[in-house]
Amino acid sequence: MIDKLFPGRLRLLWVLLLAFLAFNGAVRIGLVGYNGRLGLFSPEYLLPALAIGALFDAGVAAFFLAPLGLLIIVWPNTRTGLRATSFAIMLPLMVTMVFVGASEFTFWNEFASRFNFIAVDYVIYTNEMIGNIRESYNLPLLLGAVAVACIHRHLVDRCAVAPRPLACPAQPAPSLRRARVALACTVRRRVWP
């Protein structure tokens, strides 16, 4: 069934759709946990929220995946052409998804809701809102975490799509493990004193 909907090179759209739905589902579950009320994890609350959210996310994904599908169809059918296409598509999308997910948590922290009409104020009154954000949050830490998450995700995707012995070791290099531990300790100290 999936091979008929997404044949050949269009299979990248299926991967993007699943990644988008999984990421937004994880954001929803994270926001429920961030809320601090354990009763919201019960199935009668969580399952409808995830189902309705997945429907909305599928509509948003269809809106964005249609032009990407055209780009994939038009792009040259060479090995390097397809690799360049997937990299040119995946990296900005991962950056955007992670950035929006992080933005939703900071928005939730400030207003106790997901993006709504207040988010329009961020667009209309940009200078005032950016000033408020700079005063309230440690932007270098947040943007650095977004960059690290995107680079990590890109490396994981690269290993999952085209495993190579040298590019994708079974165990991360010791320096990479130390960097992950240092990042986790830094984030924990700054976020949870």
Q: Tally the C-alpha atoms within 13 A of residue 128's C-alpha that lie toward its C-beta.
A: 7
Asked whether residue 102 falls in the same domain as residue 69, the answer is no
Q: Cα separation of 46 and 42, whole Å?
A: 6
Q: What is the pLDDT, as a whole number, of residue 177?
A: 58
* Identity at 179, one-letter amino acid code: A
Residues 32 and 68 in one domain: yes
How high is the pLDDT of residue 52? 92
pLDDT value at 80 more than 80: no
pLDDT, averaged across the chain: 75
pLDDT: is 147 or 162 the higher one?
A: 147
Same domain, 29 and 98: no
Final residue belonging to a domain, choices 51, 74, 97: 74
1-56 pLDDT, tens digit each: 677 777 777 777 888 888 889 999 998 888 888 877 777 788 888 899 899 999 99
pLDDT of residue 21: 92
What's the number of domains the chain is made of? 2
Please write the tens of the pLDDT for every residue from 95-127: 888 888 888 888 888 777 777 766 767 767 778
Q: Could you tell me the two tokens for 185?
A: 């300790």
Whether 87 has a pLDDT exceeding 70, the answer reads: yes
Q: Are residues 89 and 164 in the same domain?
A: yes
Report, in angstroms and rounded to the nearest whole number, the Rg of the chain calculated over CA atoms: 19
Q: Percentage of the chain surpassing pLDDT 70?
A: 72
pLDDT score, position 25 = 92
Note down the domain range covering 140: 77-193
Q: Are 182 and 139 in contact (CB under 8 A)?
A: no
